[in-house]
Structure 1
Amino acid sequence: MKKNNHIIVLLGIILITSCGYKKTKIEPKEKDKPNVLFIAIDDLNDWIGVLGGHPQAKTPHMDRLAQRGVLFSNAHCQAPVCNPSRASVMTSLYPSTSGIYFLNPDIIESPVASKNIVMPKRFQQEGYNVFAAGKIFHNGKGINETHIPNYAGQFGGFGPMPEQKISTYPGHPLWDWGVYPESDDQMPDYKIASWAEKKLTKKQDQPFWMGVGFYRPHVPQFAPQKWFDMYPLESLQLPKTISDDLDDIPPYGIDITRLKHVSPTFEWVTENEEWKPLVQSYLACVSFVDDQVGRVLDALDNGDYGDNTYVVLFSDHGFHLGEKERFAKRSLWEDGARVPMIIVGPDIPKGKVINKPVQLLDIYPTLLELCHLKTDPKHEGNSLVPLLKNMDAEWPHYARTCFGPGNYAIISEQYRFIQYNDGSEEFYDHKNDPQEWNNVISSPEYAEVIGKHRNQVPTNRHHILGNGSTGHESYEATEIENH
């Protein structure tokens, strides 16, 4: 009996103490917080294996990354130019909000964007060790150093450069292509990957946000010989095109992709028989940079952080290789604006493909939610976590790309709507026309769905900040030509 009484007393004490006990949320320890590996690639279009943009593209490492997580097959940049796209990623603001449309200014010069905490500094404020190398923000002088704590440098940027041009193109010095230099270890991207390998083997006392920014396949499209050997010219396939592709494009849409641009014209490329060499050089650079991505992923997997790190891989915009009779970026069509985007990490499903329209400015709020950090009400992007949890979740959002105020592409799961500053428009049904060869803007059967896309065009447009870049000049020249 005495023993039973003791038990009753003990149970009573437990009951009394438990009644006054408040459950508290157990916050994860610093070391248990997830890490972020942020991989940015410059000028990479959908020419990777898992996106099928070119049937001969060899990208085994990006492909295996996609198999480990979620591939967003309908992801789009917010501007088809390096600086505004990256500024949008890092602030989660549209160019029409920030005024950053072209190669300048920097974020700190925008009255709106300067009020947003850029992604690396937000993670530093949250107790993360932040470090990066290569092209994360635009690579103008001092920009990465300003915005990224512990920035390790550009490691040579777009170099190395030969003493004389390899191609015969007489234009901008960066517009060059061919075999150069002799070995991978002379390439800045190789050095950036080596830096990343070393960082990932070091013991980290804090969770980390690590940026790895690769420069290729941005021009100059140079890579050592072995990467060109993967794509023999005699068996190389050119992009699918049609001869009258521009016949149903408004004059404004043609002019904005051609006036005051520094890339070679379609006419020059075809007359000088450089189309195949350009495609070969681009594919060689893509495979080269894919190999550097593989080195970084191997270092992550072989170290201590592979199981607790979110990996985001993306490109800042697309790139034309003859489609729509043009080369380079700076277009609102699919080839200029669509980008690879892959997210991998703890509890993210493996090998899934999501075709909902998403945007690069969604990355920042997504990482905040994945890392259990507070949302920022100033962000204009949407967290992708609902889609990562359920790829069939309701997703009412469109994607939006602009090239200067007044020129917008609005993208849904099946359609692309384009409106130019002079009021002219284009509309494409990707189900029936994935190459965007047939502008059906005047077709009555699409009138209702066109109206829904047209309603997504913003009415509030920040004026253009900065001046003097190729993008500024292209926009201004088109305005003069069409008004």
Structure 2
Amino acid sequence: MKNISWLLLIVICVFGCKKNNENSEPENKIVKKPNIIFLFSDDQSFKDVHVLGNKEVKTPTMDKLAEEGTTFTHTYNMGGWNGAICLASRAMVISGRSVWRAQAVSKEFSKNKELDKTWPRLMENAGYETYATGKWHISAKADSIFNHVGHVLPGMPGDSPEGYNRPQNENDTLWKPWKREFGGYWKGGKHWSEMIKDDAVSFIDSAATKEKPFFMYIAFNAPHDPRQSPKKYVDMYPLDSIAIPDSFMPMYPYAETMGAGKNLRDEKLAPFPRTEYSVKVNRQEYYALTTHLDDQLKDIINTLEKQGLMENTYIFFSSDHGLSVGEHGLIGKQNMYDHSMRVPLMIVGPNIPKGKKIATDVYMQDVMATTLELAGIEKPKYVEFNSLTNQIDGTDSKGSYDAIYGTYEKKSQRMIRRDGYKLIVYPKSEKILLYNLKEDPQELKDIAAEPQSKEKIKTLFVELMELQKQMGDQLDLSIIYKNIS
């Protein structure tokens, strides 16, 4: 009897201790850093997302990201030093520098210098497995700063003459977005958006079996032109369901002086002067390509869920800049209007509030600094953009920027957005535009000539010149300022 009692005591201790150990965390357990995924589209305006106000376009996956996470509704790109705005935008996000310093560091990238200071290298040094696929358009080689790369694609799919100056009228039917003979997104046999999706899914499946956290840079060319997608997506958008933008006009009056005239590639896509029909067709194809992209995002997110990775993964979705597609008589993105500078930005992940919308002005490139903080990496001093985490958790309601700066080329355009107003300057002709964004969010009415606007123009102009100094912008606007004072 005595021996049986001792035996029972031993059994109770063994199973009791085992149960306690199962329910308690070992003191030396290593918590895995979160995975981070950057989903990056090209030429996608904030107006090209259903949940952000455009009820014409179908974007259920992007809408779900907004539902499941936090959306920054006023996210901007600074602009660019040439017509390829995406080149500057991507240089900024990879380097962490503002536009003119990003241009300078891009020259160093081409010499294989400054690479250790790039976003993926910082993530790698913190223990991340890094991966990139899709559009690159940065002077550094992708495989020189990422551990792994999929397809490395150029700034845009190859185009053809048939894709320009169209459609002339209802009888102009040569071009069809699903015609593979025109190449572009169809070059190689599989649509580029699907190819990038397949790359991303393959890497996620592989990474799910490994211990290291991963950082993915998934960069789609869509919805950049040529606006090609399978026929079923175009059929989702009958032309009679496409509205003409409120800002539509046959010609933008300052196109030539602002550097976005008839010789600019983007502007040649549609006929001059703009017609309502040509704008409808371009918007139809833009929406179709966007919805096709949305389906690729869905497959990537479904793969994360299938692999059980969502609970420890942050997803960032944004675009490098927006696009006019018929607004203000323009087709491209080489302008300072919100439809071309403002982009979607959704963030989903652990402890990110669901369905939250934040209206403070931020830059798209703040994504980099935010991921560094989430990864436990101290932000280097050379990174000029700022983490958004304090705004997400509600401890910062003002944001990091008193004003948003905009630029196009060395001498073509400058902009400041501050306190509900936007001042646009075309230095070559000394033309000044002013918009009251609270009363006129679509920027339909220039109030620069109104007498009561004079003091506001002077105030914003001084603040713009101060921003120029901060940004390393060497264009001298002082003569124009003297003429208005």
Q: State TM-score, norm by structure 2.
A: 0.78
Distance 1:327 1:391 in 2: 40
Partner of 1:48: 49
Distance 2:405 2:176 in 1: 31
1:401 and 2:409 equivalent? Answer: no
1:227 Cα deviation from its structure 2 partner: 0.3
What whole-Å deviation, never above 9, does each CA across 1:81-103 have from its counterpart, x for those lacking one?
Answer: 01111001111211122335xxx
Give unpaired runs (5+ residues) of structure 2: 1-26, 168-174, 475-485
Partner of 1:236: 242
Q: What secondary structure, in the 3-state scheme, does the structure 1 residue paired with 2:416 have?
A: strand
1:222 Cα deviation from its structure 2 partner: 0.4
Out of 408, 414, 417, the residue aligned to residue 411 of structure 1 is 417
Out of 120, 144, 147, the residue aligned to residue 146 of structure 1 is 144
Q: What secondary structure, in the 3-state scheme, does the structure 2 residue paired with 1:240 have?
A: coil
- Paired residues of 2:223 and 2:293 also in contact (CA < 8 A): yes
Structure-to-structure mapping, 1:198-217, within 5 angstroms: 198-202=202-206, 203-217=209-223
- Paired residues of 1:417 and 1:427 also in contact (CA < 8 A): yes
Distance 1:320 1:227 in 2: 21
Q: What secondary structure, in the 3-state scheme, does the structure 2 residue paired with 1:195 have?
A: helix
1:285 and 2:284 equivalent? Answer: no
Partner of 1:179: 178
- Paired residues of 1:177 and 1:278 also in contact (CA < 8 A): no
Structure-to-structure mapping, 1:287-366, within 5 angstroms: 287-366=291-370
Q: What secondary structure, in the 3-state scheme, does the structure 1 residue paired with 2:79 have?
A: coil
Distance 1:76 1:252 in 2: 22
Identify the structure with bigger relative contact order (alpha carbons < 8 Å, sequence gap 6+).
1
Q: What secondary structure, in the 3-state scheme, does the structure 1 residue paired with 2:391 have?
A: helix
- Paired residues of 1:160 and 1:181 also in contact (CA < 8 A): no
Partner of 1:426: 433
1:461 Cα deviation from its structure 2 partner: 6.2
Q: 1:177 and 1:459, CA in 2 relative to 1: closer, same or farther beyond 3 A?
A: farther
Q: 1:106 and 1:138, CA in 2 relative to 1: closer, same or farther beyond 3 A?
A: farther
What whole-Å deviation, never above 9, does each CA across 1:373-425 have from its counterpart, x for those lacking one?
Answer: 11111111121111111176232512222212353222236232223334542
Q: Structure 1 stretch 180-189 or stretch 303-312: which is displaced more? A: 180-189
Structure-to-structure mapping, 1:161-200, within 5 angstroms: 165=162, 169=166, 178-181=177-180, 186-200=190-204
Q: Structure 1 stretch 146-155 or stretch 269-278: which is displaced more? A: 269-278
Q: Structure 1 stretch 271-280 or stretch 303-312: which is displaced more? A: 271-280
One-letter amino acid of the counterpart of residue 205, structure 1: E
Out of 240, 259, 264, the residue aligned to residue 261 of structure 1 is 264
- Paired residues of 1:66 and 1:351 also in contact (CA < 8 A): yes
Distance 2:236 2:260 in 1: 31
Partner of 2:448: 441
Distance 1:252 1:212 in 2: 34
Q: What secondary structure, in the 3-state scheme, does the structure 1 residue paired with 2:446 have?
A: coil
Q: What secondary structure, in the 3-state scheme, does the structure 2 residue paired with 1:435 have?
A: coil
Q: 1:420 and 1:148, CA in 2 relative to 1: closer, same or farther beyond 3 A?
A: farther
Partner of 1:118: 118
Q: Structure 1 stretch 188-197 or stretch 263-272: which is displaced more? A: 263-272
Q: 1:374 and 1:302, CA in 2 relative to 1: closer, same or farther beyond 3 A?
A: same
Partner of 2:73: 73
Q: 1:217 and 1:115, CA in 2 relative to 1: closer, same or farther beyond 3 A?
A: closer
Q: 1:412 and 1:71, CA in 2 relative to 1: closer, same or farther beyond 3 A?
A: farther
Distance 2:301 2:293 in 1: 13
What whole-Å deviation, never above 9, does each CA across 1:124-181 have from its counterpart, x for those lacking one?
Answer: 111100011112x4167x732333231112379855878x8366659xxxxx762334
Q: What secondary structure, in the 3-state scheme, does the structure 1 residue paired with 2:117 have?
A: coil
- Paired residues of 1:79 and 1:403 also in contact (CA < 8 A): yes
- Paired residues of 1:177 and 1:219 also in contact (CA < 8 A): no
Q: 1:123 and 1:59, CA in 2 relative to 1: closer, same or farther beyond 3 A?
A: same
Q: 1:448 and 1:64, CA in 2 relative to 1: closer, same or farther beyond 3 A?
A: farther
Distance 1:190 1:232 in 2: 24
- Paired residues of 2:91 and 2:138 also in contact (CA < 8 A): no
Q: Percent identity?
A: 25
Report the number of matched residues: 423
Q: State TM-score, norm by structure 1.
A: 0.78
One-letter amino acid of the counterpart of residue 165, structure 1: E
